[in-house]
Structure 1
């Protein structure tokens, strides 16, 4: 494809739009690598509930920042940003064009827009105090002190809610006030996947998760790390945990996952559509791979000349 260029390809969009599959196909064509851009897929052992690429998928193309840390560790956006940028620099130095694939807007934004992240270390004592409140109460606190950050965080996302509160109590200013930008000096192709059949896709994927063993995965995580593991309070695991506590039937838990995933997708759509420079692609189109590859080739031609 000609001489090497410094560039990055981002594949983003709402959950269940086929980002993983498209990323693998394009990475194979580019003889490149995939850097995970999903905030939960960085954690080991959270496989089914996060729709993590399967071992066979990861064997097709090298994946990085997937299965990165143990579920008991807290990865901040700043840590992710630093690790992702090191990998981008490394592979660009090897003449590759890495692909950043995921739907976690803040993680992606931290890389492609160079967000300046507040250097706040985890605060165990503060976290212990905040753990006496429910996730709903913590999220309400966040809505009061930092509305912009609250709008970017799902109400059930205990990990990011705690982090935003942590930054506020340590720094005395909200996360949104402290964040600035330091734009990377290489061009980025922003591919945005969406689907007219997203509701159906979400229902089908949720059923697939149940069939693949989401209940057993949740039980295993509870047995190994305790039911209070913050990641078990995130989408998918929270609803199955409610079922395991006898608070609902499995069908009701599944319906709740679908409902909450649809709400997440709506928030993701709103966030991504507020970004500039996106190349929107309907993931339902039959020529998805060819069409997307044409966009990649046009991008590479444009930045070379």
Structure 2
């Protein structure tokens, strides 16, 4: 590791792979503190369904960027990035090892790569007008105004296409120019955790069953009774939308639980698009064939 750059250990991988347990072990071993890069952990009151670290786990190692806002509040990617850099720098100031942990690829890479994130507040009227264009026409507009952004964004992802148009039309500058990366002054080691698909799915299913036993249905019911709108982004996450549908009489409880498992399997596959097996920046460890001691030794050599 370069003498003039500060270490940043990054732990990535799909949901339920085992990141939490290993992050606690790494924090104990190397005087570390955990900086969350999981967008589901931002919200207060969403504990069981997000597999939020327990009080005992948080007591075992300091955690940052958890319980930042209420379910009806928003935290932009730019706000998160600033908070993450502040937490990482605070760790360094106290001679602690920051460990960035999460499965939300957008948030991980925004920190590691130093994404430029346009600070443009949502423009409700403009956004509504752009959404009326339709998928194909919005994509054509973006290709004309910002070809670089159009090349990166899936044209079927209307929300991202509209956001790129919104930023470009509001600022007069192409979103792709505003998003240029400025790598932060860290020396990252990115450790990826994997398992074979069958094993991962079994762990996901067991975790969902555990969440149900731990009171996930009661958690969703409390949020509904508190008056939160089921359409909030925070409540569109896995577990919440399915059980809300059950409470609304739209499906049986068994069907809702099976839907949670199925959608979580799909989410785990989607995470692989952010953390690719062939990405040379990521050192992958198969937890089916390797034990934690090998990962500990690998990190120790890097430090």
Q: Normalising TM by the smaller chain, what interval? A: 0.7 to 0.9
1:60-86 Cα distance to aligned partner (Å, 9 max, x none): 101000111211211111100011011
The residue that corresponds to 1:227 in the other structure is 230
- SS class of match (2:186): coil
Cα distance in structure 2, aligned partners of 1:120 and 1:112? 22
Between 202-211 and 273-282, report the one with greater CA deviation. 273-282
- SS class of match (2:268): helix
Deviation at 1:186, TM superposition (A): 2.1
Distance 1:178 1:263, change over 3 A: farther
Alignment partner of 1:213 out of 196, 212, 215: 215
Distance 1:294 1:164, change over 3 A: farther
1:20 matched to 2:17? The reply is no
The residue that corresponds to 1:37 in the other structure is 37
Distance 1:60 1:5, change over 3 A: farther
1:169 matched to 2:190? The reply is no
The residue that corresponds to 1:287 in the other structure is 291
The residue that corresponds to 1:95 in the other structure is 95
| Matches for 1:103-182 after TM superposition, within 5 Å | 103-123=103-123, 148-149=152-153, 165-166=162-163, 168-172=165-169, 178-182=178-182
Q: How many residues get paired? A: 285
Distance 1:209 1:141, change over 3 A: farther
- SS class of match (1:171): helix
Cα RMSD between the aligned structures? 3.1
Distance 1:14 1:76, change over 3 A: same
**Preserved CA contact (<8 Å) 1:142 1:150:** no
- SS class of match (2:279): coil
- SS class of match (2:191): strand
- SS class of match (1:82): helix
Alignment partner of 1:256 out of 259, 275, 293: 259
Deviation at 1:170, TM superposition (A): 4.1
Cα distance in structure 2, aligned partners of 1:41 and 1:211? 20
The residue that corresponds to 2:79 in the other structure is 79
Deviation at 1:171, TM superposition (A): 3.1
The residue that corresponds to 1:49 in the other structure is 49
Cα distance in structure 2, aligned partners of 1:69 and 1:268? 24
| Matches for 1:3-14 after TM superposition, within 5 Å | 6-14=6-14
- SS class of match (1:8): strand
| Matches for 1:184-199 after TM superposition, within 5 Å | 184-196=184-196, 197-199=199-201
**Preserved CA contact (<8 Å) 1:6 1:97:** no
Deviation at 1:125, TM superposition (A): 6.1
Distance 1:276 1:142, change over 3 A: farther
- SS class of match (1:33): strand
1:243 matched to 2:240? The reply is no
- SS class of match (2:32): coil
- SS class of match (1:202): helix
Cα distance in structure 2, aligned partners of 1:141 and 1:46? 38
Cα distance in structure 1, aligned partners of 2:232 and 2:295? 39
Deviation at 1:283, TM superposition (A): 2.3
